[in-house]
Structures are given as C-alpha cells and as structure tokens.
Structure 1
Amino acid sequence: MDLTPLRSSRDFRLLWFGELLSSAGSQIAVVAVFVQLTELTESLAVVGLVGMARLFALALGSFLGGPLIDTRDRRRLLLGAEVCQIASSAVLLIGALIGDPPVALVYVGAALTAGFGGFAAATRSAIIPNVVSRAQLPSTLSLNQLMYNTTMIVGPAIGGLIIDGFGLSVAYAVNVVSFVAAIVAGFLIKRQVPKQEFLATEARRGSFAHGWSQLTEGFRFLRGQRVLKSTFYVDLIAMIFGMPRALFPVLAITEFGASTASKGSVAGAMFAAVAAGAVIAALTTGWVRHVQRHGLAVLWAVAVWGLGIILFGLSDGVLPLALASLALAGAADVVSAVFRGSILQSTVPDNLRGRMSSVNILVVAGGPNLGDVEAGLVASAFSPVASVVIGGAACIVGVVVLSLIIPELARYRAPVASEAKS
C-alpha cells in the first residue's frame, strides 16, 4: 500500500490519525443506537426509521454547510463541527443514563450527531486536496478507506463487547471522549482559507449573504457532469437496497442464536465483518493507480457488493459464512469508494469542493440511512432474511440499469495525473 501521503504531508497525517480515533467512537455509537432501539421498541420499522431522522439532519448539515466550507477557514469550521459532535453525542449518553428514554430522544441524538458529522466530513474532504498532490489523491483515498474501515472493525467489535459487558451508557461515553483526538488534530493543522482571488470574486457578488445562490451554483455544475452524477447514483443503489445493518441486532437473535445478553457482540461482529473485508481490500489497493477505467471498476465493485449481501441473506444461520459474505461485500465497497472518490476529486474545481463534498457526504452517509429505512420496512412486511436477499438482488439489477442509462460511466478513464498540489 502506498503510504506516501502519510509520510509527506504533516497536515494529512494529523487529520488521518485524529479521525482514526474519533471515527472508532462513532462506530461504537452506531451499534449502540440500533441495539438500544431494538430493546426499547422491538419494532423493525422503528429501528429502521432512525435512518430518516439521520438523513434529514445530514442533508441540512451537508448542504447548508457547503457554502461555508467554500468561503471560510476550513480549519475553524472543522473544529466547530467536532465540538458540536461532542454535544450531540452527549444527548445519547444522557438518554442511556436515564435508563428507559423516549424513542424521540434517541432519534434526536442520532440525528444531531449525523448532521454535525456530515458537516465535519465534508469539511475534511474539502481540505484534503489542498494538503496532498493530485497524483497522491488515489493513494490518499485508499488510506482514508483503510482508516475508516479499520475503525468500522474495531469500533463495532469493541462496542458490542462494551454494550454486553458494561451497558449502553459506557459505550456512548467512549464516543464522547473520542472526539477529543479530532479536535487536537484540528488545532495543529495549518489554516485552510479559500484562495484570495475566489474570495474577492465572491465578495463582489455578495455570495456571503446568499448561501442559497452558492448551493444552486453547485447544482448547476453537477447538472452537466453525467459521470460524476452517476457515481452518486450507483452508491445510492448499493446503500439503499443492499445495506441491512439495521437488521443486524434482530438477525443476531433470530438467525444466529444469540441470546439477549450477547446480541450486541454478534451484531458488532457483523458490522466488523463488512469493514474487515474493506480493510483487506484497502491494504492491497496499491494496484488502483494502474487502473484507467475508473467508471467500469465502480460498476463491477457495486455488483460484487450486491452479490455479497445476497450470500449473507442465504447463509442459513451459519455465522462464519455470513461474516465471510459480509467481508466480500466490504471489500467490493472499498474498491468502489476509492474510484468514486478519485472521479470526484479529479473533476471538481477547488472553489466548488466544499459543495460537491457536501453532496458526496450526503450520498455516502445518507444512502445507508435510507437503507436502514428500506431494510426495516421490507423486513416488517416480509421477514429480515427476505429483506436482505431482495435488497442484494435489487442492487445488482440497479447497476445493470444504470450502466445502460448512463453508459459514459463505464467508458470513463482517469485523466493524466500531472498537477502538483497548490
């Protein structure tokens, strides 16, 4: 794996290690929310619908934050977002300390955390192209995928053990403390202000006072970018139809024989399996810089994701087979993410990166939340297993349909990487 970005860029190194710790805490909280809602309601629909609350807040945080990211010091914005994440995570902690909180309180805490998390992620994504060279972007994205998926192994695995052994309140407390690492990293990186010529142009246009105008500018740019739009569509297809994470706690009991006291650990293992496959793939992504047909690679990767989800649904209570299937899906997802991210960073100008990063974060984080809703509702109508299998099949069909509607994606080739960082 190419570690050059970590060795050559101090600011990227700080951001990477800070996010490593805070993201692990966030993954602990993800498992805790699903387990808590399962215990409070025993309703698959209610468990899944937390995704809608998260999506609403994520949309606000991503879209309304985009213009700020493009016109303000991104370092200060990142620090503010991390502090707000501490406050929103404290809401979940308070709910757990209550013991039997209203479902609405859990929804509010989860939504606020998602909203501020989306804003922080969009800000961080907009910073990265300015602290590494263009030639290093694919390797940088691979390192980010390695980091995020490592936290998605460690976080859920530890989270499940903490929940079963010490309770939900301790799990949420660990999440609150984890954001300190990201705040320290934010303090240590250099200021990240937009280019002066762009700021002067925006000031003359009065865009500081017209955030909506800035948002529409981003969408006008996106309207003519069929390949870029298709990368968003294909990820939504994968995550809406093929993301069954909301069902992990109930599947742990109904399909894999976990007791009420151990469902957190089994559910955590399922979360971790997806990420384990992703980490294995990320560790071997040195080959991605030799691939020119990035769009075709995305399509194949998402199809393999759907296949892995189908195999998970058909595992028939055999936990090792289920975990291996989820690992296959995770490996495919990281390949898709690397190439989608490279297409995004290669086609978007710096003055629009905040807004386009906001759209990307909304898709990447919002898709799984819509997937929670879809999985919960379909499982309520049929069964958890049927929901998983139907979703995986729909994912594969969706990829085929998209490739026919937007053939430019399959034909897309990476541009020659020759520009140095600004």
Structure 2
Amino acid sequence: MDTSSRSGVEDHGDAGNTSADDASAAGEPRAGRAAAGGRGAGPPAAAPPRGWRRFAMDTRPLRRPAYRRLWSSTIVTAVGSQLTAVAVPKQIYDITGSSAWVGYASLAGLVPMVVFALWGGAVADSVDRRKLLLVTNTGIAVTSVLFWVQAAAGLDSVAVLMVLLALQQAFFGLNSPARTASVARLVPEEELPAANALGSTVMQTGLVAGPLLAGALIPVVGLPELYLIDALALCATVWAVWRLPALPPLDGGRAPRRAGVREVVDGFRYIGMQQVLLLSFVADIIAMVFGMPRALFPQMAEETFGSYGPEFALGLLFAAIPVGAVIGGLLSGTFSRARRHGWMVIGSVVGWGLAVVGFGLTSNLWVAVACLAAGGVADMVSMVFRGAILLSAATDEMRGRMQGVFTVVVAGGPRLADVLHGTAAAGAGTRWAVVGGGALVVLLTLGLAVVSPALRRYRV
C-alpha cells in the first residue's frame, strides 16, 4: 500500500490534504510522534463529559478519521455477515433435511478459520496491514458473490456450500487479526477501551439485528438475494479500507519479514513470556469454557421455561446475552476511562460467573433473561479490557499474532463449553451444570487474581 492522498482524505471534502492523524497512523511510533512535537496527536483532548453524558457511549475514537472509516465499515458488515450466517445453514437444511449436516458445515468453517487465524496473525505482523485487509475483504466479498451464484443457479450441492464456507472462513481468519491489530495504530492508547467498546457494540448489534432481518427478508426476496445483499455490503467495507492510511511494520522494512510456522510458534512463546497477556487469555478461557451454557438453552426452554412457550423462551434466551452486551456498549462511558485494566477484567469475569449462577437457579423466564443480559454487560466489559490489554501490552510486531490467538480462543471456547455443559447436564441435570459452571468461573478467576498478581496490577 502506498501513502497517496486517498489514504488520508478528511471527511469534509478537502480531497487533496492528508490529515495529521492519518499520517501519524501510517506507522510512526507513539514515542516518535511525541518527540516530533505532537505530530499525529489528532483532535485535542476533550474535557470529561458531565451529567448523563458521562454514562453514554464513549465516542472519542470517532473523532479520528482513520478509525472512523474502519468502524463505519464494520457497521455495514456486522449485519450483512449475519445474513450469510443464517442463509448457509438454512440452505443446507433445505437440501438435506438434516441438522447433522448443518453441524458438519459449522465444523467445516471452524477448522480453516482457526488455522488461518493463527497464520493470519503472523502475516499481519509481516506486511502492510491495510493491503492485507484489502485482499481479505475482497476475498470475503467474492465468496459471498459465489454463494449467490450457486443459490441462484439452483445447484443444491452441500459439497459446494461447505467448500465456499471453508474458503470464506479462511479469509475471515486472515482478516480478523489484521483488522483488530490495526486499531492500536489508529487511536492513542488511552482510547483503546473506547474503541474496543465501539467495535464490540456494533458486532453484538449485528448478532441481534442480522438474524431478525434475515428472517424477515427470506420470505420476501428469497435466499439467493440474501447472499447478494451481503456481497454488496462488503463492497462498502473494501472502499473504507481503501481509504485507510498505510499500516506497514514499524521497523521501516529493515528486518526481513516471514510468516511461517516459526513465526506462529514465536507468538505463543511471546504469550508465555508476557504474563499479563497469558493471564488475560486464561481469564477468557475460564469464562467461556465453564460459564457459557448456550448448549443447554433448547433443553431449558422445554423443561425449565416450557410454561412460557418453548419457542418463545428459546428466542429470548439466545437474544439475552447479545442484548445485554449492546446495552453495555451503549453505556461504555461508565467504564471506558478506567485505567486499572486488570481489575476490570477480573471484576467483569466474576460478574459474568455470578450472572450465570443466577440464571441457573431461577425458574422464572424473565429473571433468567435479566441474569443473562447482566452477563452480557459483564462480557462486554471483559471484551473491552481484554482487547485493550492485548493491544497495549503487546509490541506492534506481535499484535497480529496475539489477535490471531485471541480469535481462536473466542471461536473455540464456546464450542468447548457446548461439549462440557452438554456432558455435565446429562449426568447432573441442567440446573447444576449451569450453576456449577458459573461458580467455577467465580472461584477460578478469584484464584487466578490471588496467585498471579500481574493481571490485577496491570494498568495504563
């Protein structure tokens, strides 16, 4: 990627000028910018909000044009990606009439996503991240077009669908580490929690709005057009990335760059040497593996909350956590300025565990939904500060690999939780499987904080 004027065009139409904020984001270290007399400092620091505004969403990062472009592209694709996420299993079920094939398709997408997320992290540390984002977003858009072509042509081939899904998830695995690692080059360190909250809120909103929109559109426009809408939305993402500044490695190209197995292994070694990074991953694994009871939602909707209507109860259970996360994001001003990031992670994971315990103990659907929503708020806080720790504690040449591992943990943890909770419920029943998992989250997290002080001591 070059540093032509399109990379730094200000939004007010001054098409020939490059903003200082974008220029600095193109790769100059923060220390170097400070030494240069504040070049790239971006908009002046705003006074702390007063009154009710201090509780509202923290939008400081949106004052920075480069981050605003990246974030605005996420708004479009957060919903669009969910259209495809609904359309693929729907089409596979229509062809086969089997939920087992839907599960096999999920596995077909998970394996390449995990492999390419790990490799993609190493690639993101070795090349210009803007160029990588352009290539991978284009690849995702092309696969969405191919989804549309096969559906419009009426191929009715599960094999074709699974190959396309694997290809799309491979592109996503390459894309995700580069996209997240780029945030630390577009906003200053003190705004990383706010930037993470903005991005996570959009993604969680997509998890709620996307499936609802897909359910409304399928009877009206049909399944093929759902893929086409996603492909068109991805074109907006490619355009937004095109206008980003250059994001090359910060060594200025002096060191030889590779992205092989050795570099991936170096990433895991780096996590082991940076205790606060390792502990942040462990905290997330504890929360997701022991405290994510979604595999039990169908059974609990039938047995525990069946008097409210099983289908109605199931929909509320699945929607409650993302709705809570969105609420947490909308109120990010209440926590985004906190400087003790380690304590925020510990407190939010403990809060998640307590919310899960409350969910497991109640037989009232509305109390259960409230507990899950509270858990969603806690999960949002945890995501925000774990992400901030990864971006601030890791050096730029390792951020891509850290985000690759983070992507794998986020994707793999809930799937391990599905197996664990399903097995525990078969032996002890759903209530004790949920309550026991939530209690383990609380105890293990507090134990982690006691025996490993690096996380609780970490602050910006």
> TM-score scaled to structure 1, two decimals?
0.80
Are the equivalent residues in 2 in contact too, given 1:302–1:396 (CA < 8 A)? yes
Residue in 1 that maps onto 2:59: 3
Equivalent residues of 1:218, 1:356 under 8 A apart: yes
User: Which residues of 2 match residues 160-179 of structure 1 at below 5 A?
Assistant: 160-162=215-217, 172-179=227-234
Aligned runs of 1:56-135 on 2, under 5 Å? 56-89=111-144, 102=158, 110-135=165-190
Instruction: Choose the corresponding residue for 2:253, options 184, 199, 207.
Output: 199
The answer on whether the counterparts of 2:289 and 2:414 sit within 8 Å (CA) in structure 1 is yes
Equivalent residue runs for 1:261-280 within 5 Å: 263=311, 269-280=316-327
Task: Assess if the C-alpha contact under 8 Å between 2:128 and 2:249 holds in 1.
Answer: yes
**Cα displacement (A) at 1:311:** 3.4
Aligned mates of 1:258, 1:81 — CA distance in 2: 47
3-state secondary structure, aligned to 2:253: helix
1:339 is matched with 385
Aligned to 2:125, what secondary structure does the other structure show? helix
* Amino acid corresponding to residue 356 of structure 1 in structure 2: M
Structure 1 position 414 matched with structure 2 position 430: no
Structure 1 residue 53, shift from structure 2 partner: 4.3
Contact 1:153 1:273 in 2 (8 A): no
Deviation at 1:390, TM superposition (A): 4.6
Q: What letter matches 1:231 in structure 2? A: S
Measured after TM superposition, the shift of residue 381 of structure 1 is: 6.7
Could you list the per-position Cα deviations for residues 245-272 of structure 1 after superposition, in whole angstroms to 9, with x for gaps in the alignment? 4555666566655999x95x86554443
Deviations for 1:164-212, whole angstroms, at most 9, x for unmatched residues?
88776565554444322212211222222223x34211x2xxx43x622
Q: Distance in 1 between matches of 2:144 and 2:342?
A: 37
Range 47-56 or range 92-101, more displaced = 92-101
Is 2:212 the counterpart of 1:157?
A: yes
Displacement of 1:116 after TM fit?
A: 2.3
Distance 2:426 2:162 in 1: 20
In the aligned structure 1, how far is the partner of 2:139 from the partner of 2:112? 13
In structure 1, the residue corresponding to 2:284 is in which secondary structure? helix
Alignment partner of 1:414: what SS?
coil
Task: Give, in angstroms, the shift of residue 275 of structure 1.
Answer: 1.9
Instruction: Provide the C-alpha distance between the structure 1 equivalents of 2:228 and 2:160, rounded to a whole number of angstroms.
Output: 16
- For the aligned residues, what is the CA RMSD? 3.7
Residue identity in the other structure for 1:413: Y
Among candidates 251, 268, 280, match of residue 231 of structure 1: 280
**Residues 376 and 26 from structure 1, CA distance in 2 versus in 1: closer, same or farther, beyond 3 angstroms?**
farther
Please state how far the C-alpha of 1:138 moved relative to its aligned partner.
Answer: 2.1
Aligned partner (choices 294, 298, 307) of residue 341 of structure 2? 294
- Percent identity reads 35
Question: 2:157 and 2:389 mapped to 1: Cα distance?
Answer: 44
Find the aligned partners of 1:92 and 1:396 in 2 and give their Cα distance. 43
Change (3 A) 1:59 1:108: same
Amino acid at match of 1:65: G
* 1:309–1:388 contact (8 Å) kept in structure 2: yes
Distance 1:313 1:54, change over 3 A: farther
Q: Are the aligned partners of 1:62 and 1:359 in contact in 2 as well (CA < 8 Å)?
A: yes
Instruction: State the SS of the aligned residue for 1:334.
Output: helix
Counterparts of residues 397-408 of structure 1 (less than 5 Å): 397-408=443-454
User: 1:400 Cα deviation (Å)?
Assistant: 3.5
Unmatched segments (≥5 aa) in structure 2:
1-56
Q: 1:347 to 1:358 in 2, by over 3 A?
A: same
- Distance in 1 of aligned mates of 2:176 and 2:105: 20
Does the CA contact (< 8 Å) of 1:52 and 1:370 recur in 2? no
* 3-state DSSP of counterpart to 1:16: helix
Distance 1:385 1:183 in 2: 46
TM-score, normalised by the number of residues in structure 2: 0.74
**Between 305-314 and 27-36, the greater mean CA deviation after superposition:** 27-36
Q: Is residue 21 from structure 1 mapped to residue 67 from structure 2 by the alignment?
A: no
Name the aligned partner's letter for residue 84 of structure 1: G
Partner of 2:368: 322
**Residue 401 of structure 2 corresponds to which residue in structure 1?**
355
**Cα distance, 1:79 vs structure 2:** 1.9
- Check 1:383–1:329 CA distance in 2 against 1; reply closer, same or farther (3 A cut): same
User: Which structure has the bigger radius of gyration?
Assistant: 2
* Distance in 2 separating the partners of 1:78 and 1:181: 13
Residue 245 to residue 115, structure 1, CA distance change in 2 (3 Å): farther
Deviations 1:50-106 (A, max 9, x none): 66544422221111112221222211211221222234456766787769764x766
Query: C-alpha separation between the residues in 1 aligned to 2:350 and 2:245?
Result: 40
Distance in 2, Cα, partners of 1:398 & 1:83? 42
Contact 2:308–2:365 (CA under 8 A) maintained in structure 1: no
Q: Which moved more, 1:88-97 or 1:169-178?
A: 88-97
Aligned to 1:418: none
- Once residues 132 and 4 of structure 1 are traced to their aligned partners in structure 2, the CA distance between those partners, rounded to angstroms, is 9
Residue in structure 2 matching 1:222, options 271, 277, 280 = 271
Q: Is the 8 A contact 2:121 2:400 kept in 1?
A: yes
Query: What do residues 99-125 of structure 1 show as CA deviations (whole Å, max 9, x unaligned)?
Result: 9764x7666555444332232121111
The whole-number CA distance in structure 2 between the counterparts of 1:327 and 1:373 is: 23
Q: Distance in 2 between matches of 1:257 and 1:90?
A: 41
Match of 2:350 among 303, 313, 318: 303
* Structure 2 residue identity aligned to 1:323: V
Distance, in Å, in 1 between the alignment partners of 2:92 and 2:405 is 28
Letter in 1 for 2:262: S
Select the structure that is richer in helix: 1
- Conserved? CA contact 1:25–1:178, under 8 Å: yes
Distance 1:170 1:250 in 2: 34
Query: In 2, distance between residues paired with 1:37 and 1:17?
Result: 32
Shift, 1:305, TM fit: 1.5
Distance in 1, Cα, partners of 2:371 & 2:400: 35
Structure-2 change in CA distance of 1:50 and 1:293 (3 Å):
farther
Aligned to 2:24: none
Q: Give the Cα separation in 1 of the matches to 2:403 and 2:209.
A: 26
